[in-house]
Structure 1
Amino acid sequence: SHKHLCFFIVAVFLMMSKVCNPLTVTYVTALYGETIVIPCNDGAPVPQHLMFVKWKYEKDDGTPGDLLIKQARNEQATVQATDSYAQRVSIDDKFNLLITQASLKDQKTFTCMVVSHANLMEFPVSVLVYSKLNIDTKHYNNLGTCVAAEANPAATITWKKNGKALVDDGKAIVITPSLKLDPATGLSTTSSTLQYAATKEDVGAVFACVSTHRLTSQETELEPFPIHYPSEKVSLQVMSKGPVVEGDNVTLKCHADGNPPPSSFYFHLKGEKMLVQNSDTYTLNAISREAAGEYKCSLADNEKVEASQNILVSYLDLSLSPTGKVLKTVGDSLSVKMEKIASGDATVLWTKNGKAVKEPEFSKLSYADAGIFVCEVSLTGLTRHQSFELVVEGKPVITSLTEHSTGDAQHKVLTCEAEGVPEPSFQWSVNNTNEESSYINGKATHKITVIPRLNMTITCTVSNKLGEDVMTINVSSVFEEKNGKSGKNPQDDSKDQAKLIVGVVVGLLFAAAVVGLVYWLYIKNSRQGSWKTGEKEVGTSEESKKLEENNHTV
């Protein structure tokens, strides 16, 4: 029949292809337990006029076995396998063979046969199944174990210390490897045990196992394991962030290099030995300057292993005379004494009212010397302050009394300046307006505005509880100055005014004397006439009137 003839031709063609075209095997790798993807002809496109694609494999006994076949015009593949592959194989759109749940038994050759109208080709592919490394490490004192479980191919394990390989010497370093094969899965478990004779120098050393596999290499560090050794040295530490200052609480810490560290120590405190158990510290409360010196600590079970530390105690004393509020009179002297006692070179800083000054010396006090003086003495970690407030008092003294005219020439401004402490008060001998006053560092200023209508002498009086001072000034009339008579100075105006007053007074006295003399002569003459005649004094009415007028005039 035609069907049998067709298959016969294909079989002959296949035999001729094997003879003429030797097959080239390719390889793919897969992970244990996952899906194996096997490409047909490395994923190349199928030829035109494709009839079908068939996958087959080589059984353990060397005989061929069919897996599945897919017709070109049929979307569904036909599974031909009758063994365990019947439930695990499938084919995708690119004719790749898919095998689920990969195991070591899948490490064999699978062949893709492509049949078209013009050709028949086969593409064998060998599968290698690997497994991921599952690393586990453990350690017991100076014993460490590293395990690489369920690997394929079997992993190899080596050991490192601080990055350098360890070699088994049968003494200080003993490495024991082992290998187990799981007959059910075919996977191998490799383990290696390191036994290491540690010394004190190995404290902090990093041990690691290196698991090497065909797919990867993994380095895993072991947790540090304790190394025990006796104490050979101790050290004494003063637990203080800065210099030890008198009055501080000072903690001493004794440290030993053994492992585990000792729990008891002796502290030697200026000739006294103190046992401290379950602690490595001792605290000196409120240390004094007398407590400075050498301190020691030692092991409780071996006092020969000891350490010492010298403690320096910083201290600073300051004495200042005078202090507080100091009241002095201007012109007096004041002696300032400062004494300091320090454990080192101390720095002295003086300030007056917050500004740096030299050390104060007062041989003759002035108002400007008053202020708040602060002495600051400092040493590393220490500072001391003492202060005094100097008050300089004195009765007020007027330093100047001046006048000047305003721009409108209608007023005059008088300024009286004085020095005195406490602050003096001002009093003027004339009415005034626009008073202004200030008082700074013992200097007082008072200004007034006046309108002198006549030339006058004005007095400024300043006073406080200690006394007073007076000063006068001659002030010319603003009206005379306005009329152009201000060419004279104030003293000339005052003299002219005085002369005028004296002239008026003298004239009035002279007139009164003349009138008195006339009246006296008149009376005298009248009385003399009466004594002569003995008659009654008689006069005309006109004379009487004139006499009365003269009397009134006088």
Structure 2
Amino acid sequence: MHSAAYYVGAIIISAMFLQASSSDSIVVLYGETIEVPCNNGGELGDPLFIKWKYDEADGSPGAILTKGRDPGDVTIQATNSYKNRASIAANASLLITNATLEDEKTFTCMVVISGDIEEFPVVVKVQKRPSPPLIKDMAAELENGKLTTLGDCLAQDAHPPAEVIWSKNGLPLADDGTATIITTEETKDPATGLSSTSSKLQYTAKKADVDSEFTCTVKHVLGPDQTSEPRTFSIHYPTERVELQVVANGPIKEGDDVTLKCSADGNPPPTSFNFLLQGKMETVVGSDSYTLVGVTRANTGEYECSVADDHTLQDAKNISVNFLDISLDPSGEIVRAVGVSLPVTVQKNSSGDVKDNVKLDTQPNFDNLKYSDAGLYVCEFSTSGIKQSRFFRLAVQGKPNIKTISKTRVDKQHKVLTCEAEGAPKPSVEWSINGTNEESSYENGMLTHRITVVPTGNLTVACRVTNELGMDVKYIDVSYLFEDNDKRKGPGDGDDQAKLIVGIVVGLILAAAVMGLVYWVYMKKTRQGSWKTGEKESGTSEESKKLEENNHKADV
């Protein structure tokens, strides 16, 4: 093993054979470990000796460390901060921890191989990304037309220095020297050498900037761009226009609450307003609204509002209160007799055209009331958000009147008696005969009542119908025979009576024919006997005459 002195001597002797390569460069991050490659990280063969050195800012050389052929043969020569920060890697790269701006210099790797000396210089550049943008001295509000400092954006601790850009609504702002002024200043920390960039924005706001978003963006070679949170500003400007608004749910009608709202375009808005209510002045402090409670048609008219301290800034609106008056005659519960007339009148008074909607199941003729006219009658009226209805309930009354009484045979024993009558209130029914399966229906003043009976003889049955206004009765004949020979009184009796008469006539004719036939046979036999004996007929002329008369009747 050769000593380090031997290598140093060899270096001095062989200095004339020194070969230097062109410089490489690397970029490292501030605060991290610097790794400076020797021969750009390529193969070095079997070097006898390696030395890392650097050039001071004034051009004087500085030594960091040396390394012999033996891996453990490393000597730290530096006496400054590199003494504790420098080391050498297995591939001969120089390692420097906690990089600072002082490390921005040229480091040279000197390699001795078999009497030859090679040097590999590397330029180290240290960079640092700035901290996120910080906006200081932010304005609380801006004033319309006045140049105001919006804020100071700071990009701190960067190397190289960062660039600061102001934007409004995503578009960069440019310094025009009047409405927009941007002042940029760079400072360097004497201890670290890092730079901070400060950018102050002075801006002349307009009313249109009330919703504008301002941002500050920091640009740096290490990227990416860093942008502050958007900020909006309250823009102060005086009131130039006042507007009166009428706040209501749809068309205004009697009984509604109506709010008058006075809006001003100033910022901050006025806090006091005057409301002129049909000639009466009302001043409202701390609010921009006045409410009219339960308006009537008398509230129709013009209303004004103005800023309390400037009556020239005012606005006016007309308010129309809709109303509807309806009178229906008759109304409520109405009772009329059947057959009479019922006049109906409607009177309307409203603020506008009235639409009628008469809700009727049927359209009755009130000139001659019928039982079917009874019922509920509703009339609806509407105008401009108002709806009203009027009604009357009609009851048509009359004493009972039996329309028909009839019978129907069910089987050999049972018959169904039906009594139909008109009347209102609903009549009650009584039969003069007991029955079963009693059924009753009542609609539109018509009562239908049925019972099932078993006649025990030929009967005349009465149907009596009664209500509080009167009574009516009708009769019907009911036979107990299977043959329907019953006689009825009243409508529907004709068919049964006709059948009975026809039966009697047919019976009489048949009886007469039988008697005539018997008499003819008898006379014939009598005459034949006289002819056989040759005897003359005995008897008087009067008897002969009567006999001829009897023969004539028998032939008929």
What is the correspondence of 1:104-183 to structure 2 with a 5 Å cutoff? 104-108=101-105, 126-137=124-135, 138-140=137-139, 141=142, 142-145=148-151, 146-183=153-190
For each residue in 1:345-377, what CA deviation from the matched residue of structure 2 results, as whole angstroms up to 9, or x when unmatched? 22221224xx5x66x651111111111112221
Letter in 2 for 1:167: A
Separation in 2 of the partners of 1:388 and 1:2?
133
Aligned partners of 1:102 and 1:129 also within 8 Å: no
Match of 2:407 among 403, 407, 416: 403
Label 1:178 to 1:349 Cα distance change in 2 as closer, same or farther (>3 A). same
SS of residue in 2 equivalent to 1:313 = coil
SS of residue in 2 equivalent to 1:242 = coil
For each residue in 1:264-288, what CA deviation from the matched residue of structure 2 results, as whole angstroms up to 9, or x when unmatched? 2222222233333333222223222
Match of 1:272 among 266, 280, 284: 280
**TM, length-normalised to structure 1:** 0.72
Label 1:496 to 1:427 Cα distance change in 2 as closer, same or farther (>3 A). farther
Aligned partners of 2:211 and 2:233 also within 8 Å: no
Report the counterpart of residue 297 of structure 1 in structure 2.
305
Match of 2:430 among 427, 430, 439: 427
Aligned partners of 1:107 and 1:129 also within 8 Å: no
Report the counterpart of residue 209 of structure 2 in structure 1.
202
Report the counterpart of residue 418 of structure 2 in structure 1.
415
Deviation at 1:228, TM superposition (A): 2.8
Letter in 1 for 2:342: L
Contiguous gaps of at least 5 residues in structure 2: 143-147, 486-493, 506-556
Deviation at 1:475, TM superposition (A): 3.7
Separation in 1 of the partners of 2:66 and 2:2?
24
SS of residue in 2 equivalent to 1:203 = helix
Aligned partners of 2:107 and 2:122 also within 8 Å: yes
What is the correspondence of 1:432-451 to structure 2 with a 5 Å cutoff? 432-451=435-454
Separation in 1 of the partners of 2:285 and 2:438?
84
Label 1:171 to 1:28 Cα distance change in 2 as closer, same or farther (>3 A). closer
Aligned partners of 1:148 and 1:191 also within 8 Å: yes
What is the correspondence of 1:251-330 to structure 2 with a 5 Å cutoff? 251-330=259-338
Letter in 2 for 1:350: V
Separation in 1 of the partners of 2:443 and 2:48?
119
**TM, length-normalised to structure 2:** 0.71
Separation in 1 of the partners of 2:93 and 2:418?
118
- Out of 177-186 and 137-146, give the one that drifted further: 137-146
Aligned partners of 1:372 and 1:389 also within 8 Å: yes
Label 1:303 to 1:48 Cα distance change in 2 as closer, same or farther (>3 A). closer
Aligned partners of 2:64 and 2:86 also within 8 Å: no
Label 1:479 to 1:224 Cα distance change in 2 as closer, same or farther (>3 A). same
Deviation at 1:97, TM superposition (A): 7.8
For each residue in 1:527-546, what CA deviation from the matched residue of structure 2 results, as whole angstroms up to 9, or x when unmatched? xxxxxxxxxxxxxxxxxxxx
Aligned partners of 1:474 and 1:491 also within 8 Å: no
Deviation at 1:317, TM superposition (A): 1.3
Report the counterpart of residue 244 of structure 1 in structure 2.
252
SS of residue in 2 equivalent to 1:132 = coil
For each residue in 1:123-163, what CA deviation from the matched residue of structure 2 results, as whole angstroms up to 9, or x when unmatched? 95845322233212242243122222222221222333344
- What is the Cα-based RMSD across aligned positions, in Å? 4.6
Report the counterpart of residue 546 of structure 1 in structure 2.
none
- Out of 216-225 and 268-277, give the one that drifted further: 216-225
What is the correspondence of 1:364-375 to structure 2 with a 5 Å cutoff? 364-375=368-379
Letter in 2 for 1:195: Q
For each residue in 1:33-63, what CA deviation from the matched residue of structure 2 results, as whole angstroms up to 9, or x when unmatched? 4x4475969999x989999999957464574
Letter in 1 for 2:466: S
SS of residue in 1 equivalent to 2:312 = coil
Letter in 1 for 2:26: Y
Aligned length: 481
Separation in 2 of the partners of 1:70 and 1:425?
139
Separation in 2 of the partners of 1:28 and 1:333?
114
Deviation at 1:243, TM superposition (A): 1.8
Label 1:41 to 1:316 Cα distance change in 2 as closer, same or farther (>3 A). farther
Aligned partners of 2:168 and 2:213 also within 8 Å: yes
Report the counterpart of residue 389 of structure 1 in structure 2.
393
Residue 379 (str. 1) matches residue 376 (str. 2)? no
Label 1:103 to 1:5 Cα distance change in 2 as closer, same or farther (>3 A). closer
Aligned partners of 2:128 and 2:157 also within 8 Å: no
Report the counterpart of residue 193 of structure 2 in structure 1.
186
SS of residue in 1 equivalent to 2:341 = coil
What is the correspondence of 1:80-91 to structure 2 with a 5 Å cutoff? 84=81
Report the counterpart of residue 496 of structure 2 in structure 1.
490
Aligned partners of 1:53 and 1:95 also within 8 Å: no
- Out of 199-208 and 97-106, give the one that drifted further: 97-106
Aligned partners of 2:166 and 2:216 also within 8 Å: yes
Label 1:95 to 1:316 Cα distance change in 2 as closer, same or farther (>3 A). farther
Label 1:170 to 1:5 Cα distance change in 2 as closer, same or farther (>3 A). closer
Letter in 1 for 2:394: L
Aligned partners of 1:17 and 1:121 also within 8 Å: no
Label 1:433 to 1:181 Cα distance change in 2 as closer, same or farther (>3 A). same
Aligned partners of 2:36 and 2:122 also within 8 Å: no
Aligned partners of 2:126 and 2:159 also within 8 Å: no
Report the counterpart of residue 26 of structure 2 in structure 1.
27
Report the counterpart of residue 512 of structure 2 in structure 1.
none
Deviation at 1:181, TM superposition (A): 0.9
Separation in 2 of the partners of 1:237 and 1:409?
90
Label 1:39 to 1:480 Cα distance change in 2 as closer, same or farther (>3 A). farther
Separation in 2 of the partners of 1:228 and 1:265?
19
Letter in 2 for 1:400: T
Residue 346 (str. 1) matches residue 354 (str. 2)? yes
Label 1:26 to 1:59 Cα distance change in 2 as closer, same or farther (>3 A). closer
- Out of 431-440 and 195-204, give the one that drifted further: 195-204
Separation in 2 of the partners of 1:43 and 1:238?
82
Separation in 1 of the partners of 2:365 and 2:453?
45
SS of residue in 1 equivalent to 2:211 = coil
Label 1:167 to 1:23 Cα distance change in 2 as closer, same or farther (>3 A). closer
Separation in 1 of the partners of 2:425 and 2:49?
124
Aligned partners of 1:324 and 1:388 also within 8 Å: yes
Deviation at 1:434, TM superposition (A): 1.2
Letter in 2 for 1:103: T
Deviation at 1:307, TM superposition (A): 0.9
